[in-house]
Amino acid sequence: MRIKFSKYQGTGNDFIMLDNMDNAFDSLSIEHVKFLCDRKFGVGADGLIKLSSSMELDFELEYYNSDGTQSFCGNGGRCSVAFANQLKISGTNTKFTAIDGAHEATIVNGIISVGMLPVERIEVANGDYILDTGSPHYIKLVESQNELDILKFGRKIRYSEQFKDAGINVNLMLVKGPDEIQVSTYERGVENETLSCGTGVTACALAYKFLMQQKAGTKITIHTKGGVLSVSSNSFVENKGFENIWLSGPAKHVFDGIIEI
């Protein structure tokens, strides 16, 4: 199979993008996904995304982690909006569907914002936070960057009895100042630390707002190893949930290529 692809990254979270509007890659297997994402033998990426046609919206996003498992990916969603705009599938305002449902998105001055689905519940467990922002996340608040090793701690939680079957993403969150946090993430499916995770920074921003009991509106700035993102939302604290959530940041085209598999 001859595959024409584009490579995109959103704050260091990188993806192989496939134009599947004519169903050319419907037969792509999980083994193909694993090979293409392999950084030594394939193209190399945290995940692979197929953009397909949608009956009701501008396009359908099908996201695969590098191990072939599927979920929603916030940075992948933002990169997909940039890719769809490059392909002229959609403009600066778009709607798409993904594994978790329908999303809106905008492009303004190079910043791509994706509307995330409402989060109805934040679970507090031994001072840590568990919530789902399209993918499940475990968040631990730390007091310094060096308090815990994200790889060791991430694997400990991800492969614990509670989470080993379904898996969970694990985040360390450091409060840097008012409405400003730093986040590192261990991603299930990649089974490693990634430079940035869109659903992860969203989860951490909401956990921060929950911790600070912010009831509406405030934009949270999030620093990752790959760059800076922001999350805004309106909350309904009495129900321990959030709505009108937007993840914003840059998404960059890296290169195009062709590979035979």
Catalytic residues: 73, 197
**Closest by Cα among 150, 189, 190 to 173:** 150
Q: Nearest 5°: CA angle at 223, between 222 and 227?
A: 115
Q: Round to whole Å and give the CA distance between 10 and 43.
A: 17
Q: Round to whole Å and give the CA distance between 228 and 250.
A: 8
